[in-house]
Structure 1
Amino acid sequence: MKSFILLLCIFLISGTLISAKPIRVGVAGMTHDHINQVFDYIGKQQDVEIVGFAEPNKALAMRLLKSHNLPETLWFPTLEALIQQKNPEAVCAFNSIYEHLAVVETCAPKGIHVIVEKPLAVNNQHLALMKALVEKHQIHLLTNFETTWYPSHAKVWEMAKKEKSLGTIRKVVFKDGHNGPIEIGCSKEFTNWLTDPIQNGGGAIVDFGCYGANIMTWLMDGQKPISVTAVTSQEKTSVYPKVDDEATIILKYPACQAVIQASWNWPFGVKDTEVYGTSGIVIANKEANMRYIYGEGNKAEKWLDLSALPNEQSNVFSYLAAVVNGKIKPEKDLSSFAVNSVVVEILSAAKESAKTGKTIYFSR
């Protein structure tokens, strides 16, 4: 009996150790300033091991690795070289939106999962090629948004979908922007492609328009809007001569509307989601509490204290590990391929609408 108990304990401990083994993750590109997420994460959690950085600009790679006290041996000139030598289970892309497709083309045939920085793809053509690769090779293709990890958005979902305390959603207003990537001191390597209409697909309409498109598609369970109408402008042509710096997108659904305000002209950074329902209003952002207005006639108001999210839902790397290990199935969550495919279609329609001055209708 004692021998059996000892063997059982060894089995359970071994199983725990196996399940706790970190997934091997490579990084494709280092020109996106959001790569600081990687450096901030290294050494703090045990669910992901960063095995290497693939970046053709060696000087950039060496500068970043040195500034974070990481060995030069983590650098690889190409993603192929990194994969061949380090055999990652997943790859995070921190390069231009246009280059996301090349990352998927390299990883998918090898069965390597991919997560890219927002948005998923630069246009519908790239999206179609990605979709074919995902379906053929059965990989996870995910998209990372800062706003995904806000406890407030999880609470909005709970109130809207489970508690039904907001009633029927009639309008959602998204305010996402700051005073411009150059103005806030983004790196030259980042702004070189972020302000390029080919590499980024647009300016503020893409950079900040994607947040609202992502959250709204999630709230609508992946449903596409009936129509998309957008207006863009260039208020700072001397700073951003090639792309828009101001954009407004209106999404029409059967029972509600969404207004997405995206800007590189505001005095400070804002990421607010205002949800207007028939029974209540909530205003969500990255703060630890959320304003809730409710009641008919004589309205009531209170601030909701927000609980911390579970580890695998609180940051991109723990989430990625949970997906790769099969603990989370990203069917229609904020990072899923299904939701972010619609985001790309919305942004493409918004750019067409802004260019032509016409409302773009989705086929039903």
Structure 2
Amino acid sequence: MRYLLLLLIFLSSVNLTFSQDKLRVGVAGLTHGHVGWILDANKRTDIEIVGIAEPNKTLAERLTKQYGISMDLVYDDLEEMLTATRPEAVTAFGNIYDHLAVVEAAAPKRMHVMVEKPLAVSAAHASRMEELAKKHGIHLITNYETTWYPSVEKAQEILEEGEIGEMRKLIVRDGHRGPKNIGVSAEFLEWLTDPKLNGGGAIIDFGCYGANLSTWLHKGERPISVTAVAQQLQAENNPKVDDDATIILAYENSQVILEPSWNWPIGRKDMEIYGMTGALFADNGKTLRLRMAQGYDGFDEKVFQLEKRESPYDDPFTYFKAIIRGEIKASPYDLSSLENNLLVVEILEAAVESSKTNKTVFLK
């Protein structure tokens, strides 16, 4: 009997430790098209969704059924969910305008926050979010799909080693055929094409990727100026926002061209880095080409087929948990960092202004 009692105590201790090791996550909103990322992660042994805030019951019922999650976890109100379930961290999967409200609710409770890209719809919102994060000592990070690409990591590594010389030009292209054309959900489409809730159209939705990568590769250097042209080529699908843009960032020793679009015939997230002696082409998440110059227009090419990044740098939730638990520390201007994404919002705000005024905007 004594041995049985000891065994039960041991197993209870193991189960408690296992439960405590999971990152307790609250989900703020379900309308973002990327929400499946966190809902699917609930099957993992290191993540536990303890509450979901979503007033749209039809949407909540559809998604909880799809991912095998109980509707008992769903609350109408974010504040109610946070108070009732006490998550360690909150992941925002609603519209971009509401990112500020999520931080306003979570930060005073010392709950860490991860938002889907971009950080905020405006510099004013971003500044307030920064103020709250610092005041209450929470981690506030931004998630981009490209952050977890091994091709992006390898490109930065080769650039840092000086193999292609100093970067002179960066070109980043992101986008697809457009939200309506690729069949996003009605809930996602509603706010994605709303200039208030999303901050703009393609210029925001996909321009943020390049601004984020540029800020990282430039180690936090601020662009001197931002020049942008935005167009509406699918007025019937995107009546309130732009759907195609080109953004030029001028730095002291380099130039960056961002091409966010909802008019690409084939979905893409790729970048090109040009140095003084060679170039890098990150064609997708796992393929990277290195071309070393020879003569006038010749080159030697090496192709890298890369494997998944090592944990905890392989997905947003493993990374977020490691940051919260103090297992790793983000460097300034890392892709997910607050410093990086404050500048991203500033760049995007300047791009929108430039596109509307037809003038180059010089950053302070």
Q: Same fold per TM (> 0.5)? A: yes
Question: AA paired with 1:170?
Answer: R
Counterpart-to-counterpart distance in 2, 1:223 and 1:19:
42
Contact residue 150 and residue 285 of structure 1 kept, 8 A: no
The Cα of 1:41 is off from its aligned counterpart by 1.9
Q: Say if 1:241 and 1:213 are closer, same or farther in 2 by CA, change over 3 A.
A: same
Partner of 1:148: 147
Cα separation, 1, equivalents of 2:254 and 2:200: 27
Structure-to-structure mapping, 1:50-69, within 5 angstroms: 50-69=49-68
Counterpart of 2:7?
A: none
Q: 1:332 and 1:47 mapped to 2: Cα distance?
A: 27
Which residue in the other structure is 1:25 paired with? 25
**Identity level (%):** 50
Matched, 1:196 2:197: no
Q: In the alignment, what sits opposite 1:107? A: 106
Partner of 1:284: 282
Does the 8 Å contact 1:123/1:344 carry over to 2?
yes
Q: Distance in 1 between matches of 2:359 and 2:321?
A: 43
The SS at the match of 1:164 is coil
Where do 1:120-139 residues align within 5 Å?
Answer: 120-139=119-138
In the alignment, is the contact (CA less than 8 A) between 1:209 and 1:347 conserved in 2? Answer: yes
Q: Which amino acid aligns with 2:350?
A: A
> What residue in structure 1 maps to residue 309 of structure 2?
309
8 Å CA contact 1:275, 1:281 repeated in 2: yes
C-alpha separation in 2, matches of 1:137 and 1:241: 40
Q: Aligned to 2:170, what secondary structure does the other structure show?
A: strand
Q: Which residue of 2 aligns with 1:353?
A: 354
Deviations 1:135-168 (A, max 9, x none): 211111100000001001110111111x211210
CA 1:70–1:241: 2 relative to 1, 3 Å: same
* Pairwise CA distance, 1:206: 0.3
Matched, 1:344 2:345: yes
Does the alignment pair 1:176 with 2:174? yes
TM-score (norm 1): 0.92
Counterpart Cα distance in 1 of 2:334 and 2:293? 30
Instruction: Give the Cα–Cα distance (whole angstroms) in 1 for the partners of residues 309 and 182 of structure 2.
Output: 29
TM-score w.r.t. length of structure 2: 0.92
Distance 1:71 1:20 in 2: 21
* Distance of 2:281 and 2:74 partners within structure 1: 43
Give how far 1:19 is off.
11
1:71 aligns with 2:70: yes
Name the residue aligned to 1:5. Answer: none
SS in 1 for 2:341: helix
Please list every run of 5 or more consecutive structure 1 residues that lacks an aligned counterpart in the other structure.
Answer: 1-9
Query: Which one is further off, 336-345 or 130-139?
Result: 130-139
- Using the alignment, how far apart are the partners of 1:19 and 1:275 within structure 2? 44
Instruction: Letter of the 2:46 partner, please give it.
Output: D
1:319 corresponding residue in structure 2: 319
1:30 to 1:18, Cα distance in 2 relative to 1, 3 A: closer
Alpha carbons of structure 1 residues 337 and 24: separation in structure 2 relative to 1, 3 Å? same
Alignment CA distance shift 1:307-1:239 (3 Å): closer
Distance in 2 separating the partners of 1:77 and 1:63: 15
Aligned mates of 2:327, 2:349 — CA distance in 1 = 33
CA contact (8 A) 2:268 2:284 kept: no
- The Cα shift of 1:288 comes to 2.5
**Partner letter of residue 350 of structure 1?**
A
Separation in 2, partners of 1:322, 1:143: 15
Q: Is the 8 A contact 2:28 2:102 kept in 1?
A: yes
CA apart distance, 1:46: 2.2
CA displacement at 1:92 relative to structure 2: 0.2
How far residue 20 of structure 1 moved from its aligned partner, in angstroms, is 7.8
Deviates most, 282-291 or 134-143: 282-291
CA distance, structure 2, for counterparts of residue 285 and residue 87 of structure 1 = 42
Q: Deviations over 1:55-106 (max 9, x none)?
A: 0112211111112222111111111121112110100000000000000000
Aligned position for 1:293: 291
The one-letter amino acid paired with 1:158 is: E
* SS of corresponding position for 1:295: strand
Q: Does 1:362 align with 2:363?
A: yes
Provide the C-alpha distance between the structure 1 equivalents of 2:73 and 2:284, rounded to a whole number of angstroms. 33
CA shift, 1:18, in A, is: 6.7
Q: Residues 20 and 81 (structure 1 numbering): CA distance in 2 closer, same or farther, change over 3 Å?
A: closer
Cα-to-partner distance string for 1:117-137 (whole Å, 9 max, x where unaligned)? 000000011012112111211
| Equivalent residues of 1:205, 1:232 under 8 A apart | yes
Work out the CA distance in 1 between the residues paired with 2:286 and 2:185: 29
Distance in 1, matches of 2:18 and 2:235, equals 55
Query: How far, CA to CA, are the matches of 1:305 and 1:66 in structure 2?
Result: 37
| Structure 2 contact 119–341 (Cα < 8 Å) conserved | yes
- Listed as ranges, the gaps of 5+ residues in structure 2 are 1-9
